[in-house]
Structure 1
Amino acid sequence: MTDNAPVSRTPVSLLGAGAMGTALARAWLAAGHPVTVWNRTPARARALAADGATVAAGAADAVAANRLVIACLLDDASVGEALDGVGLTGRDLVNLTTGTPAQGRERAAWATARGARYLDAGIMAVPPMIGVADSGAYVLYSGSAALFEEHRDTLAVPAGTRYVGTDPGFAALHDVALLSAMNGMFAGVAHAFALIRREDVAPGAFAPLLVSWLTAMAPAAHQAADQLESGDYRKGVVSNLAMQVAGNATLLRTAEEQGVSAELLRPYLDLMARRLADGHGDEDGTGVIELLDLRRARPAA
């Protein structure tokens, strides 16, 4: 005999129905998960009722409805305000709200003291990517390994999952590190387009060249990681720091000739020059990381 009984899906309580929260809720609802939603502005939560969500009158009601509670709010302070005085004993709190590593660790201690298991998270996606197969969206999780393993399938419905460790601050740390790299890339892209924009060079024709070049250069991150782990910044060097710094003069001169500010480039180029002045010309550029570490030992004055 074939059991045709419907598969039971883990119910979810969602705090926050902004653009990201709404996308998450719809993904879970589409997959058959009962969703109870609360939002500070009730109209946003009520909009999800048409998709099958149960709208809670308050955050406490949403938390009481289900064991698995997802927070996707504006910031860490909003999480504290929404859950102030709300009983969390026996609840599994997954915090998808963007925050810092320190906030993740503090919120984990706060939740544990109130009897909840806790996962912090960082969403590596924008709302249109949520619930879309092969969109590349994923969420970083850190904190309770037991909570993650128990709810892994449910958490994987809106986006892929990446568990990065038991330290609750690691999800935010990975999130911000990746976003920082992204912003550096965007800065380079902006400078590149600024250089060509007043010439007879179509941005649409230039863009494929830019994308292919950045794609080709991206694996340099693996070499940087290898050098950091070995402590040898001369390992596998192709273009040493002395050569790179010499070439940087051309970048600055071209910006000047094109009437483009070099303010997006100068901080990094200045770090390279400082590292070279310290006698590291035979290294790769990875050594500039030493100059960014504010906690490194400094020589006595």
Structure 2
Amino acid sequence: MGSALARASLAAGHRVTVWNRSLAKTTALVDHGADLAASVADAAEASDVLIVCLFDHRSVHDVLDPVVDRLAGREVINLTTTSPDGARELARWAADHDATYLDGGIMAIPEMVGTAQSKVLYSGSQRVFDQNRPLLETWGSAEYFGDDAGMASLYDLALLASMYAMFAGFFHGAAMVGAAGVPAKEFAVRAADWLRAMAPAVIDYADVIDGGDYAVPGQQSLEFSDISDIVAASGAHGVSTELVDVVQRLIHRQIDAGHGAEGFARVIESLKAVAA
């Protein structure tokens, strides 16, 4: 991902200095016009804007703690995937060393960086966001979520949660029909069409959730949403029911609390109750 960011920056005409813990990963970037820093200290001093894209929160400290004295007066834009609290800790750490911090969550795979499909979410210093927006938009559309450095990460992880749950649902369905000899590819064509058709429903569900009235007429009720048939068919075909069991428990927690006639969106209350 770091290489993809550097390539997009170079393609847009920015001067880029690169450093990587694995030197071989910098070769192609240098061939495309990047300057090579001999050390992370040299990289930190090469520009007033330091872009960080590493493995995790810990690796940011591992790489930058030894050169923290070089960060004073610089802008740190961290595109490493971290937790919201991790991003907030890094923002405090940067401020303690007189650096200004902007956190970013990349909603793209490396091949998408620099294309219209790439989106990057930011939070932290608005000044850093505003001043560097031309650079940020070389990587993808840039959206700012406020001065709480953890908000970009929170949005990033929440969106990824939706994605992973969707993919897991597809895997479950593929396992069900696969037990009857249906190739996953054949199922995928139908699943993609179905999920695409259903996706806009999240907007309607959001209106219900924000309105707080799960009894609005016209909603699919929790009782109707009971997925016992899915659970039974999965088990009958030798497919683990652990994924759909979770959904069934969320539904029945609300039914058992007397809300069976209310809309399916009410399962969010099961999730919020667990979180509380």
TM bracket, shorter-chain basis: over 0.9
Alignment check: 8 A CA contact 2:6 2:16 kept: yes
Note if 1:105 corresponds to 2:88: yes
1:186 & 1:161 partners in 2: Cα distance? Answer: 26
Offset at residue 22 of structure 1 (A): 0.8
Instruction: Give SS of 1:278's match.
Output: helix
In 2, the alpha carbon distance for the partners of 1:37 and 1:106 equals: 25
Report SS of the residue matched to 2:80.
coil
Q: 2:10 aligns with which of 17, 29, 35?
A: 29
The one-letter code of the counterpart of 1:221 is V
Cα distance in structure 2, aligned partners of 1:173 and 1:102: 9
Q: Do structure 1's residue 175 and structure 2's residue 156 form an aligned pair?
A: yes
TM-score, normalization by structure 2: 0.93
Q: Shift in Å at residue 187 of structure 1?
A: 0.9
**Change in 2 beyond 3 A, CA 1:271/1:58:** same
- Could you list the runs of 4 or more consecutive aligned residues of structure 1 that deviate by over 6 angstroms after TM superposition? none
Please tell me whether the aligned partners of residues 176 and 239 of structure 2 are also in contact (alpha carbons under 8 angstroms).
yes
| SS of residue matched to 2:142 | strand
In the alignment, the residues of structure 2 paired with residue 277 and residue 75 of structure 1 have an alpha-carbon distance, to the nearest angstrom, of 41
Output one character per residue of 1:98-121: Cα deviation in whole Å (capped at 9) or x when no partner.
000001111111111211211111
Residue identity in the other structure for 2:238 = G
Work out whether 1:130 is the aligned partner of 2:113: yes
Verify: 1:284 aligned to 2:267, yes or no: no
Q: 1:239 is matched with which residue: 210, 217, 220?
A: 220
CA distance in 1, matches of 2:159, 2:203: 14
| Structural mapping, 1:34-49, within 5 Å | 34-49=15-30
SS of residue matched to 1:233: coil
| Partner residue, 2:40 | 59
SS at match of 1:108: helix
Instruction: Give the CA deviation at 1:198.
Output: 3.4
- The CA deviation at 1:32 is 1.1
Q: Give the partner amino acid of 1:249.
A: S
Query: Are the equivalent residues in 2 in contact too, given 1:237–1:283 (CA < 8 A)?
Result: no
- Give the Cα–Cα distance (whole angstroms) in 2 for the partners of residues 162 and 237 of structure 1: 35
2:257 aligned with 1:250: no
TM-score normalised by length of structure 1: 0.86
Match of 2:188 in 1: 207
Deviation of the 1:139 alpha carbon: 0.8
**Equivalent residue, structure 2, for 1:155:** 136
- Deviation of 1:239 after TM superposition, in Å, equals 1.2
Residue deviations 1:169-226 (CA, integer Å, cap 9, x gap)? 0010001000001111011100111111133544433322211111121122212221
Q: Judge conservation of contact 1:120–1:171 (CA < 8 Å) in 2.
A: yes
User: For 2:23 and 2:186, how far apart are their aligned partners in 1?
Assistant: 47
Percent identical residues: 44
How far apart in 1 are the matches of 2:202 and 2:57?
31
Q: Distance in 1 between matches of 2:101 and 2:216?
A: 41
Distance in 1 (CA, whole Å) between partners of 2:235 and 2:275 is: 36
Coordinate RMSD, CA, aligned? 1.6
Partner residue in 2 for 1:273? 252
Q: Provide the rounded CA distance (Å) in 1 between the counterparts of 2:37 and 2:83.
A: 29
For 1:148 and 1:88, how far apart are their aligned partners in 2?
Answer: 18
Per the alignment, do residues 104 and 185 of structure 1 end up closer, same or farther by CA in structure 2, a change over 3 Å counting? Answer: same
Aligned with residue 260 of structure 1, among 215, 228, 239: 239
Q: Match of 2:74?
A: 91
Structure 1 alignment gaps of length 5 or more = 1-19, 297-301
Matches of 1:125 and 1:295, distance apart in 2: 28
1:192 equivalent in alignment to 2:184: no
In structure 1, distance between residues paired with 2:216 and 2:86: 37
Unaligned runs of 5+ in 2: none
